[in-house]
């Protein structure tokens, strides 16, 4: 039985490894990088103002408050489930739930990269770019001006439409930088995170 489980995991990991990973969002070496393909990407330096970590048992969340060269403050969030769990809904519903949004205005979507203007509960807007290439990882970048937002999207696809609304929430200080509202209820009882199905049936 153990050999069959190990073999199944090995096959699954090899399948994942063979899938081209041309799109991503990452924060490394004080740089935010976003790519939708081998040809198109956005890269900018970003200094850490503050970072936080939250452990929800089935999911680990890390939040970075960053300052861009143009003095804009943005937030980068990386959520990763435990090995035996996964995010249950798609990225659209996750974002709507976590930000307690009235609605989402889709601007761009390609190769696991999604750009939205989020309609928050008070009716104001928040620019966000998200990435989800598998069911266990989620990355979000938000809080940028619409000018910067459109620049990011244009870098990912020169033919992508521009965001229409320019009056949006911009982060003015560390105190108001976190717009997401992750909590135990959302993670475990909505639920956003569920146990992975067994790789194979009973033996």
Enter the tokens of residue 161: 């439409």
pLDDT at 154 over 90: yes
Q: Which of 4-18, 32-46, 144-158 has the lowest mean pLDDT?
A: 4-18
Using one digit for the tens of pLDDT, what is the confidence trace for 42-87?
A: 999 999 999 999 999 999 999 999 999 999 999 999 999 999 999 9
What is the chain's mean pLDDT, rounded? Answer: 89
Q: Give burial (CB, 10 Å; 0-12/13-18/19+) of 173.
A: exposed
Domain spans of the chain?
22-195
Q: Tokens at residue 102, please?
A: 């009235």
Q: Which residues contact 95 (CB under 8 A, 6 or more apart)?
A: 101, 104, 116, 118, 128, 130, 140
pLDDT at residue 22, rounded to an integer: 83
Give the whole-angstrom CA distance, residue 163 versus residue 151.
10
Count CB-CB contacts under 10 A for residue 184: 10
Q: pLDDT at position 89, please? A: 84
Please give the average per-residue pLDDT across 12-18, as a whole number: 38
Burial class (CB in 10 A: 0-12, 13-18, 19+), 141: buried
- Pick 57 or 4 by higher pLDDT: 57
Cα 156 to Cα 29, 32, 75, 76, distances in angstroms: 21, 14, 19, 18
Output the pTM of the full model.
Answer: 0.86
pLDDT in tens, 95-131: 999 999 999 999 999 999 999 999 999 999 999 999 9
Is residue 10 scored above 80 in pLDDT?
no
Give the dihedral sign, CA 111/113/115/121: positive
Question: What is the dihedral angle through the alpha carbons of 183, 186, 188, 190, rounded to the nearest 10 degrees?
Answer: 170
């Amino acid at each position: 039985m153990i050999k069959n489980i190990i073999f199944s995991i090995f096959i699954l990991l090899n399948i994942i490894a063979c899938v081209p990973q041309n799109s991503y969002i990452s924060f490394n070496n004080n740089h935010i990088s976003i790519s939708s393909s081998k040809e198109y990407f956005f890269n900018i330096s970003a200094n850490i103002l503050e970072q936080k970590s939250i452990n929800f048992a089935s999911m680990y969340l890390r939040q970075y408050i960053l300052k861009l060269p143009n003095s804009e403050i943005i937030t980068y969030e990386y959520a990763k489930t435990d090995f035996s769990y996964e995010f249950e809904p798609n990225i659209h519903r996750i974002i709507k739930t976590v930000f307690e949004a009235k609605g989402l205005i889709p601007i761009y979507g390609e190769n696991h990269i999604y750009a939205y203007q989020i309609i928050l509960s008070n009716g104001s807007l928040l620019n966000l770019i998200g990435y989800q290439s598998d069911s266990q990882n989620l990355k979000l970048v938000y809080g940028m001006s619409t000018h910067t937002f459109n620049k990011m999207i244009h870098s990912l696809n020169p033919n992508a439409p521009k965001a229409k609304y320019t009056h949006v929430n911009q982060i003015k200080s560390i105190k108001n930088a976190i717009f997401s509202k992750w909590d135990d209820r959302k993670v475990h009882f909505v639920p956003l995170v569920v146990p992975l199905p067994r790789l194979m049936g009973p033996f």
